Structure 1
Amino acid sequence: MTTITRIAARGEGVAADGRHVALAAPGDTLADDGTLIPGPHHIDPPCRHYPECGGCQLQHLDDESWAGFITDRIASALDAHGLTTIIRAPALSPPHTRRRATLHVEPSGRIGFTAERSHQIVDLHECHVIAPELFALVRPLKRLLPSFKAKRRLDVHLTLADQGVDVLVKGVAPEGLSHHDALTAFAQAHKVARIAFDDGMGPETRWEPEPVTITLGGVAVPLPPAAFLQATTEGEAALVAAVCESVGAAKITADLFAGLGTFALALPGRVYAAEGARDAIMALKAAAGRAQRLVFTEHRDLFRRPLTTAELNRFDAIVIDPPRAGARDQVTQLAAGTVPVIAYVSCNPSTFAADAQRLREGGYALDWIQPVGQFRWSTHVELAARFSRSPS
């Protein structure tokens, strides 16, 4: 017999003898005949679709083990680059709080997430991850979308906005009066904030009784269809708190990969916000202007044209929240600079650790990391970290 000691990056349990065991939790026992004996951290998954549905990989873990998995993922990534630091207790989002999701719809009407490591759609009858407002539209969409007679799989992006649920259907466009009437009836019956369709030419709004917004930093920001948001309000709050703690009372801060302004609108003093997505940066510019926030925006592709070291050195602090691939070129410019404080937000511990090594080689210290578990019961790990440079 052997004991399960940890969870691997893809969610399998790892036994003391090195074997990987599906659906195992730390503290479980693996008998000689392969039988898994549940331990103190192994719980009964609440959802009938687990483990078939690919939306969750770790529903059999209690919160203590899930938090441990998140911490281990970050520590392992750091260790691979010779780094260590204080890793705080992870901030975990509760069930039923995810405010954005992408569901897939087959022509037959089957709707849900894809199965684990498969393109097969799991027809959702319950979901313990997404917000109730999103799940409430699953059955109505199942009735509505087959009437469009799409010949291929559709993607449906659901986002919980200030006014209700924002719906973007990709892969088809409504045609004729019957579709218009069906959409109007659907939207009115379910109090939908907006319905847009994208058949490959960009989103086209078909229902929006009032402008759709998302409140960030106390400011109502116009919400483009399927725009990026932090997955939960709890996760967003944890990341914003960590960034604000890192920046402190900086008088002027640069927010790189600013998006809609999740951090820019929460920061003190003056803020320069750079973002490559035009619709996002225009929404932030409009919102900051109406709220009279001291936010200067620039539409700038930071992969093709990162801020130079000379440009960066004008700021008291830098906030950087790059995509999963990290921001090697931008971090190289940062590492050569003299900015006192950097707040780095990441959704990929591996690329974060690589960038952290570059910053360390440039003279920065990694002060601490705040892990965040926004994607309930998944192997997805996010974090916010503080880097500082001592005055020379």
Structure 2
Amino acid sequence: MDAAGNISWAITATALVLLMTPGVAFFYGGLVKAKSVISMMMMSFGAIGLIAVLWILYGFSMSSVSDPGQFAGNPFADFGLVETAAGDGANVALLSVAYGATFAIITVALISGAIADRARFGPWLIFVGVFATIGYFPIAAWVWGGGWITHLGTTLFGADSGIAVIDYAGGTAVHINAGAAALALALVLGKRIGFHKGIQKPHNVPLTLLGAALLWFGWFGFNAGAEWLSGDMGNVGLIGINTLGAAAAGILGWILVEKLKDGRPTSVGAVSGLVAGLVAITPACANLTPGWALLLGALAGIACALAVELKYRMGFDDSLDVVGLHLVGGLLGTVYLGFFATGQGLFTGGDLRLLAVQVIASGECWSTRSSSRTSRASRSRRRSGSA
């Protein structure tokens, strides 16, 4: 593809990913009580406003490092993008910055579903700013910006090993990260009054279906968008078919579980399976053949449908199943690559080394970040008086 074509696809992909956050707003908005729908949707739009500003001011600077040992980049290295905007190739560079911003935005917006019906907008925005600064921006540097996860395979197995963590579009940095934060917030804020199975009755299922449709539409920019950086769009066909297939298989996997457990599938279950398949394929979209992608989507639909029941058994109130969908789906998709990544997985021509780095990367993004956020969120709750 020529330069003009690359730029056209890049701005299109950026717009697609940005559209996903209003999609999240609709998806979550339909699931909550009628009296909560506006506040629920505003949490997503608030994330757009604050995260976009922080990303331009210092988030982009923090999202890349020159030394794998660094926690994050210097937030003042290019404060407000002054140097980027004045440098050679600013047109493409700034477009890349905008594309990255949409990932930061959607990651934070996803978390809001865990605290539906029991968090106020002001404390939410405080959390958004803190989480982005010490949660998302550094992990983006770890995974995509030259940090320790980028170099984990080289560190463990040597420069000639050819082993590197695979996370094409955000299984660790987006979904595991958001799911771990959602679990921490759910634990800190506690349960809603009368928390029990069946407490969450969707007030507007068509609104949720619309949100899911927007998410699936935007996810093609989410997964295939970064191909413009390669210059030749060499994997966009594979990424596209895997994004389609895994989501479709996720629908079937989830409604199968509902049929076996409850006697009938539901529309909310179908779109939840759709999201589960999309989450799982996110890190793996460029590194699986279509058949393995279908299997991953089906497994994600099944696993996430079962995982959403854990909150009742384990006693945490994750209102809209962010943990069950994004943490579980992100972990599944990331670790699955260790078994089935094309030419590298344990069962597709590789060995245990890729599986090892996938497990380490996903486990670190979950355990360390989740436990530290629980402590910080608890302190923030006491200061802000959030419900």
TM-score, normalized by the shorter chain, greater than 0.5: no
Please state which structure has a larger fraction of its residues in helix. Answer: 2
Asked which structure has the greater RCO (Cα within 8 Å, sep 6+), the reply is 2
Largest Rg, 1 or 2: 1
Structure 1 length-normalised TM: 0.28
Please state which structure has a larger fraction of its residues in strand. Answer: 1
